[in-house]
């Protein structure tokens, strides 16, 4: 796919290394913030490196010190966002020693669902754009898959910990359960915030939590 920027079609031929200095890291973060603004305003296809550079207040050529292309900065942006988003669910079932009881586990699941919804609310425009770009960019699709697998792995570990503590049935398939629960939460929140589903936030969160804990054999909240 071509680009309005003359250097864009050479994207990723040799991606710049991550900056080694604090000043470089600050500049890279500044460009990421600017890229987010431009992508959310203009969409992926219409966004230009020149606009990202201008929004960041840096010379056009400075962009290429940190990113090889518009596509590369988008990948970096969504990778960080996806990690933040999915990490909010990852500790849903991992109890600290002083909180290793059934009601404590329900509370942690509820808090994790609330964090996930809050993160999605903060990033709705970017997540909608992310879904579009996954349809034609295999590396962005790989970023999504990798982030999803990391979260599923953390949820699986949490379920296995609950099983070890005797709070969840030992014969429940932790891997399949983690995939199903992650898909439920992600799918419902995406349908609500990106596709315009008619949901009320508190009711949605309470329902997701109840389904999650009942699937694991934990009591409903409030029992």
For residue 66, give both structure tokens. Answer: 């940190």
* Per-residue model confidence (pLDDT) at position 14: 59
CATH number, domain with residue 103:
1.10.357.10
86 and 20 within one domain: no
Domain count, the chain: 2
**Beta-carbon count within 10 A of 54 CB:** 14
70 and 34 Cβ atoms separated by less than 8 Å: no
3-state SS, one letter per residue, for 92-125: CCCCCHHHCCHHHHHHHHHHHHHHHHHHHHHCHH
Both 33 and 112 in one domain: the answer is no
| Confidence (pTM) | 0.79
Whether residue 173 sits in one domain with residue 90: yes
What pLDDT is stored for residue 207 in this prediction? 97
Residue 19 within a domain:
yes
* Residue ranges in the chain whose pLDDT is less than 50: 1-4, 6-7, 9-13, 93-99, 221-223
Residues 87 and 56 placed together within one structural domain of the fold: no
| Boundary (domain end) residue, out of 68, 86, 107 | 68
Q: Would you tell me how many other CB atoms lie within 10 Å of the CB of residue 196?
A: 8
Pair (122, 196) in one structural domain: yes
Q: Are residues 53 and 87 in the same domain?
A: no
Pair (35, 117) in one structural domain: no
Q: Which domain holds residue 102?
A: 73-215
Whether residues 64 and 80 share a domain: the answer is: no
| Structural domain includes residue 4 | no
Residue 156, domain member (yes or no): yes
Residue 96's pLDDT is 45
pLDDT at 163: 92
Is residue 92 located within the same domain as residue 64? no
């Amino acid at each position: 796919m071509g680009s309005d920027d003359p250097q864009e079609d050479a994207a990723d031929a040799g991606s710049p290394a991550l900056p080694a200095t604090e000043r470089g890291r600050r500049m890279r973060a500044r460009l990421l913030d600017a890229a987010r603004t431009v992508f959310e305003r203009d969409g992926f296809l219409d966004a230009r490196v020149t606009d990202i550079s201008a929004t960041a207040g840096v010379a056009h050529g400075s962009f290429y010190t940190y990113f090889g292309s518009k596509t590369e900065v988008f990948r970096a942006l969504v990778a960080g966002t996806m990690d933040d988003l999915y990490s909010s669910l990852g500790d849903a079932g991992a109890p600290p020693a002083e909180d290793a009881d059934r009601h404590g586990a329900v509370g942690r699941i509820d808090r994790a669902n609330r964090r996930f919804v809050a993160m999605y609310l903060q990033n709705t425009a970017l997540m909608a754009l992310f879904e579009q770009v996954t349809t034609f960019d295999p590396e962005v699709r790989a970023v999504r898959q990798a982030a999803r697998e990391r979260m599923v792995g953390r949820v699986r570990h949490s379920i296995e910990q609950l099983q070890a503590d005797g709070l969840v049935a030992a014969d429940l398939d932790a891997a399949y359960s983690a995939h199903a629960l992650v898909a439920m939460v992600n799918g419902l929140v995406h349908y609500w915030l990106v596709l315009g589903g008619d949901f009320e936030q508190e009711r949605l969160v309470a329902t997701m939590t109840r389904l999650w804990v009942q699937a694991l054999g934990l009591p409903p909240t409030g029992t």
